[in-house]
């Protein structure tokens, strides 16, 4: 299978922040941002694999700076690292004060997607080739995040096996 450059999966989307997008603090509602992150990351994953994909995990979404109605929000995503059937997608969220042009990193996110065939079975994905300094840094640290993901998944399964599915009134 032929490897692909990170830039082949790059997706950029910019949007405004409208009154219905904000919370009681007049900043962008976190759930709205999370939905947008998953949406753009899924496009990067499918561009890279050219197959169906599903979100396997949202590793982290770190909110670094509030986003207000005076900002435009630019989402930039691309595949940073791959396993056999999985792809790590990085999403950088940049807030831009529209009146001044000042830009800042408002949030970052790492998600993992798995590629699927028509029958819903996992399939291999192309390796990724980083080119820019940013892509290379994320690629070099991707294996460590993948190992951390595996450990976290084991712990999550242990917890799930402990948890009850009984209705609260039946406990």
Structural domains for the chain: 4-164 (3.10.129.10)
- Whether pLDDT at 88 is above 90: yes
Residues in the chain: 171
Residue 141 tokens read as 């640290």
* Helix, strand, coil content of the chain in percent (nearest 5): 35, 40, 25
Residue 130 tokens read as 């980083």
Q: pLDDT tens digits for 99-137?
A: 999 999 999 999 999 999 999 999 999 999 999 999 999
Bridge-based pairing of strands 103-116 and 4-5 is: unpaired
What is the DSSP code (8-state) at residue 169? G
Q: What is the pTM of this model?
A: 0.92
Residue 15 tokens read as 């949007």
| Chain mean position to CA 92 | 9
Q: pLDDT tens digits for 28-67?
A: 999 999 999 999 999 999 999 999 999 999 988 999 999 9
pLDDT of 19: 94
């Amino acid at each position: 299978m032929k490897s692909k450059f990170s830039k082949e999966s790059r997706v950029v989307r910019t949007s405004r922040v409208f009154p219905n997008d904000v919370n009681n603090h007049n900043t962008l509602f976190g759930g709205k941002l999370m939905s947008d992150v998953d949406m753009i990351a899924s496009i990067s994953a499918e561009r890279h694999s050219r197959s169906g994909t599903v979100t396997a995990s949202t590793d982290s979404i770190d909110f670094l700076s509030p986003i207000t109605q005076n900002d435009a929000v630019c989402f930039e995503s691309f595949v940073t690292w791959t396993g056999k059937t999985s792809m790590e997608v990085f999403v950088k969220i940049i807030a831009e004060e529209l009146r001044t042009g000042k830009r800042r990193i408002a949030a970052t996110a790492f998600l993992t997607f798995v590629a699927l065939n028509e029958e819903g079975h996992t399939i291999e994905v192309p390796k990724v080739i980083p080119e820019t300094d940013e892509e290379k840094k994320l690629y070099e640290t991707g294996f460590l995040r993948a190992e951390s993901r595996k450990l976290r998944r084991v712990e999550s399964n242990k917890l799930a096996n402990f948890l009850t599915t009984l209705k609260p009134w039946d406990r």
